[in-house]
Structure 1
């Protein structure tokens, strides 16, 4: 018997993440399983503000924004795994390790972000993150996030 995919639309994502335009980088979660994984998509459009300066003649989605999209995906999986935040709580990015860029992301691409839960120790959750375009790995990293009050 196969398991039903769990998904999140943009309305549900906005309830969990505090990010807003132009910095909300997850358009949809297509599947997740608590304590295991989450798969999300980010549709890259030439109309996004970063392309006016990065780079006007050859628009390339900044690598740090790919990492940020991966970090946002870890926050979503953390909330789904450990419970939704109170009004004064947020997941903050604690570290990025072993980041590697293997390809470019350009307007028109759909960035598929996959994060895998590794462990939680003393309130810091550890994830492996991967970003793909057309099934080709463009970025990978180990990410840590921590739930904090603000």
Structure 2
């Protein structure tokens, strides 16, 4: 699934769109996507100029967006909880962040996914992420 499908499915836009491509997708079951990490990312100007490292919060955002695409039938998803978040390696410009997620449960408007991010086959982060899905414009 290309960037056009991703942009139809997610509300985020530059500089917060953190999924570049979906490689595999089984709706309501699992997904595998990538984020191409380039030196042109706006956060690298200040994190850190002499030794650029992707902020953990941006890794989590990429994981959250990718995992949320498992539930591509939902109109709009919002992050409601992060559990068991771990960071195990730095992500730097030139890395390809591969994000794999599996659905854990979905009850009414709530859903949970287990997510793992890797670079070159080495884990950089993992988490359990919970969402609330609703129609756009509703709170």
Q: TM-score range by the shorter chain?
A: over 0.9
Describe the SS at the equivalent of 1:91. Answer: strand
Counterpart residue number, 1:123: 109
Describe the SS at the equivalent of 2:65. Answer: helix
How many Å apart are 1:106 and its aligned residue? 0.1
TM-score (norm 1): 0.88
Structure 2 Cα separation of the partners of residues 95 and 109 of structure 1: 27
Runs of 4+ with deviation above 2 angstroms: none
**What is the correspondence of 1:63-102 to structure 2 with a 5 Å cutoff?**
63-79=56-72, 83-85=73-75, 90-102=76-88
Could you list the runs of 5+ residues in structure 2 that have no partner in the other structure? none
Describe the SS at the equivalent of 2:19. Answer: coil
Say whether residues 1:134 and 2:127 are aligned partners.
Answer: no
13, 16, 19: which is aligned to 1:26? 19
8 Å Cα contact 1:37/1:77 also seen in 2: yes
How many Å apart are 1:22 and its aligned residue? 0.5
CA RMSD of aligned residues (A): 0.9
